[in-house]
């Protein structure tokens, strides 16, 4: 949900960049305690195709 909402103000950016910006902000606010690798655009596209 956060990712989809984050895509609105960053509509000119790719999936990977939006994911990086989103988690970077959550880490700064201490709402994302774990280290997270941004998934590739291909991985996000495949996840969207799953039923």
Give pLDDT tens digits for 7-22.
888 888 888 888 888 7
pLDDT tens digits along 19-44: 888 777 777 777 666 777 777 878 87
Backbone angles phi, psi at 41, to 5 degrees: -60, -35
- Which pair of tokens denotes residue 15? 């999936």
């Amino acid at each position: 949900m956060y990712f989809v909402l984050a895509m609105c103000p960053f509509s000119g950016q790719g999936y990977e960049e939006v994911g990086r910006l989103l988690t970077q902000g959550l880490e700064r606010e201490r709402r994302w305690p774990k280290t997270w690798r941004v998934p590739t655009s291909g991985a996000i596209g495949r996840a969207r195709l799953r039923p």
